[in-house]
Amino acid sequence: MIARLRPSIVLAAALLAVALLAGGIGGAAAQTMSYADAVDQLATACRADFAKYCKNVELGDGRLRACLDAHQNVVSPRCQQTRAMVYASIARRAAAQRDIGTICDADIERLCGTSHADAHLVECLVSVSPAAMSPACSQAFTDTGWRTEKAQQ
């Protein structure tokens, strides 16, 4: 009886794992991680692979990423998956933080009647409801992480 149940338990566990994984990736796409969380996840998931393939490789200058890219066919599946998710999150957050002034320029003019200069940008965007913002500006503001950072203060 137990022997007969086992394959279905394994199947259920596998389905659950796939569902959790899909949820995790979907969640990352909806909201970027802090740089600290992102790189910590990478360090945790790839610890053994770093020691094996990227020992003495620098985090900076894109060297660690280049090493992981060069070994993508041999690193553990967990490291491979986390690497893709983490670098996507970092790139997306950095792009949002860099470009939000341009992306939200019209929104800030319309909603706050000011130009987007410096810290006033965040003051303006936290003061208005996400529904009032253009979808692109709202998504970019979420991606910067500043919406939640402000909420935590």
Partner 1 sequence: MIRYQIGAVCALALAIAATVAGADTRLNSGEIATSLAAVSTSGKLDLTAAQMRQAVMDNIRNYPGALPPRALTFPQLANLAQFTVEINFNFNSAVIRPDSYRNVGAIADALHNPILLGYGFLVIGHTDSVGGRVYNVGLSQRRAEAVVAALVNPFGINPAVLQPIGMGEEQLRDPAHPTSGVNRRVQLINVGKKFCFGRAGEQFVCQ
Binding site for partner 1 (CB under 8 A): 34-40, 42-43, 46-47, 50, 56-62, 64-65, 87, 90-91, 94, 97-98, 118-119, 121-122, 145-146, 149, 152-153
Closer of 6 and 78 to partner 1 (Cβ):
78
Closer of 8 and 153 to partner 1 (Cβ):
153
Minimum CB distance to partner 1, residue 49 (Å): 10
Which amino acid, 115?
S
The C-alpha atoms of residue 67 and residue 91 are separated, in whole angstroms, by 17
* H, E, C per residue of 87-125: HHHHHHHHHHHHHHHHHCHHHHHHHHCCCCCCCHHHHHH
The C-alpha atoms of residue 39 and residue 93 are separated, in whole angstroms, by 13
Closer of 6 and 149 to partner 1 (Cβ):
149
Contact 82, 31 (CB under 8 A): no
Minimum CB distance to partner 1, residue 16 (Å): 23
Minimum CB distance to partner 1, residue 142 (Å): 15
Closer of 22 and 40 to partner 1 (Cβ):
40
Minimum CB distance to partner 1, residue 40 (Å): 4
Task: Using alpha carbons only, give the angle 73, 45, 8 rounded to the nearest 5 degrees.
Answer: 85
